[in-house]
């Protein structure tokens, strides 16, 4: 009888669309029935992310394997699902292609369609058959036939290609596959492997390393893998890594080895997910900040930590996999994107490439918020960039109850008539992460418990709701604080508070980023109102609640629709270069074109910074 | 009183020149005193071979260390000395720049002076100073200064250069040295190392591996090192190596490893001799026959051993030292010369390059006599080549008393009124080497004990001297033989004989080479008389007694002055490419230009061969 019952799926939108379907119907089918356009690039096979939806109301269906592979645990936790995988067994309210993270892929799709005129990874495969027609029965004769069948003359034949040719062509094979990179024959593979042509893009962040396995034929993303950067055990932020590297020449090697081991593990994991092997990866592109870039290569980054903060090399670096220790065929080309300056690294170049701000006639701001925030402002006329030393407060570090955006973290806060909050994972809260902190500070400002100078108002005016004002307390150390989570709701047996010092940390962080934006604007002769848009990149940007970010003055007060999350833009830039040699050349041009604005060298920087530290009225 | 005595040094020539000098005067000083031009490229410091002389009469002075390093034991044994090192304590008769082996270096000198317009190895060093003037005190800032000081923009910066730059430029150095290869910055070295810029050329022969360490600044040869090819333990000739490789895929790796270990040892030895280190070697060039070429790369050569005897690759191969296992900085470029065909390998291309036959308006023949003899005939109009399967008889193998040209070997034989012979090392003979065998066969022909069909005349005519005719004997197995060394003179307690079978082996070997020459001549529409000269290359060519070689019909009967020994021409070709990128490009052109003549495919080959097997009347 359950069979005859209908369930209702409502798709959010203007207007919302509601459809009655049989229980078990996939959300993709439901969307089609409702006439809601949901893309399904892979044909509804769970092989891409294009049909991603978020369950707004009702029980989120249990995630499938495809959900886990394509979306990852964070998004699953945030009730994202692939519409082609999720079945409706209860009434649900669903949002199609929600902006968070998805925008990134829209931009990527856009660049693939427009700026990226063609998928042109430099690597290609050619199927060679017809060896039975070769009169002479030796590997050498068949190798000649193979070279003859290639669409263009081979300039160089690689050792691996010669070795494998000698083995595979001993008896006449049905078919072999030639792998070419530029005019070089890289490899000869048994049988028809033209269906397996992969590349790996890696974004090595200070905290997180993310890898993307792409099919180089059509540019499809086949796996996204991530791990914490294991260098963290030698220091959480860049400066502590640099100082560890300085202590002992062996430490550079240790940091290098950690990074490489991590990438090797990600390679392996990505191959497992995509159902392929490391031998089928023919190109690797790496982005990262300058320190991560240098450590990946095994280069002592000490110099980058001292004025004038210059990297050892700025041009794109190309190495063979073997030279850096990647467990791939020795010759596999590994390309590191170029750098602009010590703190405007390959990741910033990747961000510029992915956001296409260099193509637009209108000026846009792109910010990757992290311990060092990269700030880029520009258009096709000019691009300038700086690095703003925000410190780790927005990542939850050096905050009394700060923590990463993980299970138990308060990630959203509303301070209105009452105080409400959202906890990642849904259990009792154990701390507060950056986005929650920004929300809390914005709420305190709005409700009148925080003045623009950043001082908690211990004796608030009567207009502050009673339920909120009574949360102001004074800690044993004498500093005021705001009780975000009272002891009885807390998972740690204590009040979870936001202290005056925490607020100062947030102020310093946002002051650094905001002053970076202002300095670059001034350098280009611009003001906030000249910005046609703001692109927020990086993991933190994705969690941030925009109105709060604007309320505290972290980003310029643009209408919300002109501010977009662009996801991991650095990683997208790496993917673009993976897919297109032309994008690689473009990255080199960009790195030369981007004007670096050293903050400390601006005569009025201190003044700008002090002004930026204040919260907007 | 000895001091006042004069000694006389006579320099051979037309006319001979005689000079009286004080005992202990060097032969170089004596030559200058006599007005005999002796070149001393290195300024008489024992650092080159240009002043080499041979002591024709009188006691050869004890060899110095420089003699051993520059000349090697074989030449010392043959009474060659460096004129700048050898002192005259007794009356001596001396020949300046004797043709044996020296011609090779004359050609090399000539090419350096003419065809090799300039030493242009691709690798160069630039001294960078003036870091104290760099305002900012970091490695990054100094690296920028370094790049700024280079004479041309750097396209790629290698990992090793970045790593070493980061270390060396931490504090302002007095000077560093940048190493460039093409437009790539390979390395940054501490201090001024511009005086140390070396390259290594290697000729990997089936039997012997020879290495040459060259100073890439001026092209000076700084060390010659040689070793027996340790692959020999897996088979003495090419075919047995191929069949060993075929038995088991692991065997290819074994043969590869042996070759690489051998080259690594030679590298070390050469560095020791030249007083440098492996880190100062920036380019390696390798020649060898196709089998050695493939095994050096770790490529299964089986295919080369079967018709149509094609190599797996013919174009020049460039690898990094690390990829093949050479113990040099990982990026060090290793270049293998291109191949023409399965049995006309990189060594033949090297020979063509070194002998410059491609430049001459007149047609010349170049032959490298070995188990497989490479035969090249040509001029600047056309060049054709074949490989003649001579077998190992001329190297003393498969000959009853055959041995290598080593201590105890009869290397020269005169059969006239009596039988005389020369023994390497001067002791009692223990066997006969190839050159002795050719002499013996020539002598037997001349004296009438051998008929043109190759049959030993058991009942010789009376005109044969008694002392010679009584040496004809019949062995227990029934075959006739010639007693070269009677039991009582022999070091082995038995007669050392040349058997009828031995003579047949020599006949087959010379028949193969001679028919190869004839076939290539015919292919080009030429006859012997069209040859303007014959260039004999390779170790065996150097030992061969020319009149004997002509007498048995091994080489065309040209006037002796038109036949020259050119030494290890393949190795010289490798040296040319080491010294000049242009020569490298020329080698590629040549490999494409040289027309390969497959002997077996010639319709009249059997007939030519059978005619060539006969000895000239």
| CB within 8 Å of B178: residues ≥ 6 apart | B125, B126, B128, B146, B150, B161, B185, B187, B188, B189
Question: Rounded mean pLDDT of chain B?
Answer: 88
| Any A CB within 8 A of B227 CB | no
pLDDT number for residue B396 = 80
Alpha-carbon distance A574 to nearest alpha carbon in chain B (angstroms): 19
| Any B CB within 8 A of A323 CB | yes
| Any A CB within 8 A of B571 CB | no
Alpha-carbon distance A127 to nearest alpha carbon in chain B (angstroms): 18
Nearest chain B residue to A136, by CA: B308
pLDDT of B280 above 50: yes
Alpha-carbon distance B281 to nearest alpha carbon in chain A (angstroms): 19
Chain-chain contact of A140 with B320 (C-beta, under 8 angstroms): no
Chain-chain contact of B136 with A310 (C-beta, under 8 angstroms): yes
Question: Rounded mean pLDDT of chain A?
Answer: 88
Chain-chain contact of B140 with A303 (C-beta, under 8 angstroms): yes
pLDDT number for residue A47 = 64
Percentage, residues of chain B above pLDDT 70: 93
pLDDT number for residue B43 = 65
pLDDT number for residue B560 = 82
Nearest chain B residue to A142, by CA: B312
Which residues 501-540 of B have a C-beta within 8 angstroms of A? none
Which residues 72-131 of A have a C-beta within 8 angstroms of B? none
pLDDT of B175 above 80: yes
pLDDT of B183 above 50: yes
Alpha-carbon distance B88 to nearest alpha carbon in chain A (angstroms): 54
Q: Which of B155, B294, B313 to probe the A interface (max A CBs under 10 A)? A: B313
Q: What is the mean pLDDT of residues A73-94?
A: 86
B contacts of A309 (beta carbons < 8 Å):
138, 140
Residue A542 burial (10 A CB sphere; 0-12, 13-18, 19+): buried
Beta strands B92-96 and A333-336, pairing class: unpaired
A contacts of B307 (beta carbons < 8 Å):
136, 138
Closest CB to B136: pick one of A157, A298, A307: A307
Distances B177 to A160, B142, B164, B196 between C-alpha atoms, Å:
34, 13, 11, 10
pLDDT tens digits for A242-282?
889 988 889 999 999 999 999 999 999 999 999 999 999 99
Alpha-carbon distance B415 to nearest alpha carbon in chain A (angstroms): 48
Rounded-to-integer distance, Cα A233 and Cα A228, Å: 10
Alpha-carbon distance A126 to nearest alpha carbon in chain B (angstroms): 18
pLDDT tens digits for A158-185?
999 999 999 899 888 899 999 999 899 9
Q: DSSP 3-state assignment of B388? A: strand
pLDDT higher for A200 or A136?
A: A200
Confidence of residue A553 (pLDDT cuts 50, 70, 90): very high
Residue with tokens 């003649």: B388
* Secondary structure of A91-151 in HEC code, one letter for each residue: CEEEEECCHHHHHHHHHHHHHHHCCCCCCECCEEEEEEECHHHCCCCCHHHHHHHHHHHCC
Q: What is the DSSP-derived secondary structure letter of residue B341? A: B
Which residues 126-185 of A have a C-beta within 8 angstroms of B? 136-141, 143-144, 154-157, 159, 162-163, 165-167, 169-170
pLDDT number for residue A100 = 34
pLDDT of B379 above 80: yes
Strands (E), A146-256: 156-157, 175-181, 184-190, 198-204, 208-215, 221-228
Q: Which of B134, B136, B162 to probe the A interface (max A CBs under 10 A)? A: B162
Alpha-carbon distance B33 to nearest alpha carbon in chain A (angstroms): 56
Q: What is the mean pLDDT of residues A123-136?
A: 84
| CB within 8 Å of B36: residues ≥ 6 apart | B11, B13, B17, B96
Domains of chain A: 7-97 (3.10.20.30), 123-190 (no CATH), 198-336 (3.30.420.480), 357-390+507-604 (3.30.420), 394-502 (no CATH)
Please name every residue paired with B335 in a beta bridge, in sequence order, or none if there are none: B285, B318
| CB within 8 Å of B99: residues ≥ 6 apart | B564, B565
Which residues 291-320 of B have a C-beta within 8 angstroms of A? 294, 297-304, 306-313, 315, 317-320
Chain-chain contact of A166 with B312 (C-beta, under 8 angstroms): yes
Q: What is the length of chain A? A: 617
Chain-chain contact of A156 with B324 (C-beta, under 8 angstroms): no
pLDDT tens digits for B28-78?
889 888 888 777 666 676 766 778 898 989 988 887 767 776 776 677 888
- Phi/psi at B163 (nearest 5 deg)? -60, -50
pLDDT number for residue B303 = 87
Chain-chain contact of A312 with B139 (C-beta, under 8 angstroms): yes
Chain-chain contact of A299 with B140 (C-beta, under 8 angstroms): no
Q: What is the mean pLDDT of residues A527-554?
A: 88
Confidence of residue B134 (pLDDT cuts 50, 70, 90): low
Chain-chain contact of B294 with A170 (C-beta, under 8 angstroms): no
pLDDT number for residue A521 = 97
pLDDT of A120 above 60: yes
| Any A CB within 8 A of B324 CB | yes
Please name every residue paired with A482 in a beta bridge, in sequence order, or none if there are none: A472, A498
Confidence of residue B482 (pLDDT cuts 50, 70, 90): very high
Percentage, residues of chain A above pLDDT 70: 93
* Cα-based angle A570, A575, A579 (whole degrees, multiple of 5): 150
**Range in A18-32, A558-572, B159-173, B291-305 the model is least confident about:** A558-572
Nearest chain B residue to A321, by CA: B323
pLDDT of B102 above 60: no
- Phi/psi at B290 (nearest 5 deg)? -60, -40
pLDDT number for residue B370 = 81
Closest CB to B299: pick one of A156, A166, A297: A166
Phi-psi region for residue A288, left (φ > 0), alpha (ψ -120 to 50) or beta? left
A contacts of B249 (beta carbons < 8 Å):
167
* ipTM, interface predicted TM-score of the complex: 0.73
Nearest chain B residue to A295, by CA: B163
pLDDT of A103 above 60: no
**Range in A218-232, A326-340, B258-272, B437-451 the model is least confident about:** A218-232
Q: What is the mean pLDDT of residues B275-288?
A: 96
Torsion of CA A57, A62, A63, A64, to 10 degrees: -140
- Select from A501, A509, A489 the least CA-distant residue to A435: A509
Q: What is the DSSP-derived secondary structure letter of residue A514? A: H
pLDDT number for residue B23 = 86
Chain-chain contact of A143 with B310 (C-beta, under 8 angstroms): yes
pLDDT number for residue B117 = 59
**pTM of the predicted model, to two decimals?**
0.76
pLDDT of B589 above 60: yes
B contacts of A312 (beta carbons < 8 Å):
139-140, 143, 162, 165-166
pLDDT tens digits for A377-394?
999 999 999 999 888 888
A contacts of B140 (beta carbons < 8 Å):
303-304, 308-312, 342
pLDDT tens digits for A325-374?
999 988 899 999 999 988 899 999 999 998 889 988 999 999 998 888 99
């Amino acid at each position: 009888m359950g069979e005859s019952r209908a369930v209702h799926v409502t798709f959010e939108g203007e207007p919302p669309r509601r459809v009655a379907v049989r229980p078990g119907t996939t959300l993709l089918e439901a969307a089609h029935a409702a006439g809601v356009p949901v893309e399904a690039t892979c044909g509804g096979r769970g092989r891409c992310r294009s049909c991603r939806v978020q369950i707004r109301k009702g029980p989120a269906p249990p995630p499938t394997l495809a959900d886990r592979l394509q979306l990852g645990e964070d998004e699953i936790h945030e009730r994202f699902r692939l519409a082609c995988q999720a079945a409706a067994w209860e009434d649900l309210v669903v949002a199609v292609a929600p902006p968070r993270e998805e925008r990134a892929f829209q931009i990527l799709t856009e660049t693939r369609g427009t700026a990226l005129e063609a998928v042109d990874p430099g690597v290609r495969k050619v199927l060679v058959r017809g060896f039975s027609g070769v009169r002479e029965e030796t590997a050498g004769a068949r190798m000649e036939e193979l070279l003859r069948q290639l669409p263009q003359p081979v300039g160089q034949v690689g050792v691996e290609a010669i070795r494998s040719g000698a083995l595979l062509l001993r008896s006449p094979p049905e078919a072999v596959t030639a792998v070419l990179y530029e005019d070089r024959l890289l490899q000869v593979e048994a049988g028809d492997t033209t269906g397996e042509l992969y590349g790996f893009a890696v974004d090595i962040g200070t905290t997180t390393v993310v890898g993307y396995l792409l099919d180089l034929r059509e540019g499809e993303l086949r796996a996204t893998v991530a791990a914490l950067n294991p260098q963290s055990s030698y220091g959480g932020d860049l400066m502590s890594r640099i100082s560890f590297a300085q202590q002992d020449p062996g430490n550079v090697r240790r940091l290098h080895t950690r990074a490489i081991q991590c990438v090797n593990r990600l390679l392996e994991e990505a191959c497992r997910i995509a159902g392929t092997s490391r031998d089928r990866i023919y190109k690797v592109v790496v982005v990262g900040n300058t320190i991560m870039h240098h450590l990946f290569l095994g280069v002592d980054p000490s110099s980058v930590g001292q004025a004038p903060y210059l990297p050892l090399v700025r041009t794109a670096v190309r190495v063979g996999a073997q030279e850096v220790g990647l467990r791939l065929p020795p010759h596999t080309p590994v390309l590191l994107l170029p750098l602009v300056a010590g703190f405007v690294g390959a990741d910033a170049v990747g961000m510029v490439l992915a956001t296409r701000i260099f193509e637009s006639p209108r000026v846009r701001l792109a910010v990757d918020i992290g311990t060092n925030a990269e700030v880029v402002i520009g258009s096709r006329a000019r691009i300038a960039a700086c690095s703003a030393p925000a410190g780790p407060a927005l990542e939850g570090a050096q905050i009394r109850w700060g923590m990463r955006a993980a299970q138990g973290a308060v990630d959203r806060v509303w301070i209105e008539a009452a105080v409400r909050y959202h906890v990642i994972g849904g259990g009792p809260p154990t701390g507060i992460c950056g986005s929650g902190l920004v929300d809390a500070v914005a709420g305190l400002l709005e409700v009148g418990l925080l003045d623009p100078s950043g001082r908690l108002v211990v004796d608030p005016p009567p207009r502050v709701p009673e339920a909120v004002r009574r949360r102001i307390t004074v800690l044993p150390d004498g500093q005021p604080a705001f009780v975000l989570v009272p002891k009885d709701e807390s998972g740690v047996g204590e009040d979870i508070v936001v202290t005056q010092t925490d607020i100062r940390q947030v102020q310093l962080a946002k002051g650094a980023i905001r002053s970076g934006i202002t300095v670059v604007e001034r350098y280009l002769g611009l003001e906030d109102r000249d910005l046609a848009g703001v692109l927020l990149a990086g993991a933190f940007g994705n969690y941030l609640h925009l109105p709060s970010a604007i309320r505290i003055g972290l980003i310029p007060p643009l209408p919300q629709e002109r501010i977009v999350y662009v996801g991991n833009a650095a990683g997208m830039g790496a993917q673009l270069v993976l897919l297109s040699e032309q994008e690689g050349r473009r990255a080199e041009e960009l790195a030369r074109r981007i004007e670096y604005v050293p903050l400390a060298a601006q005569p009025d920087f201190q003044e700008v910074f002090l002004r930026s530290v204040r919260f907007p009225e």
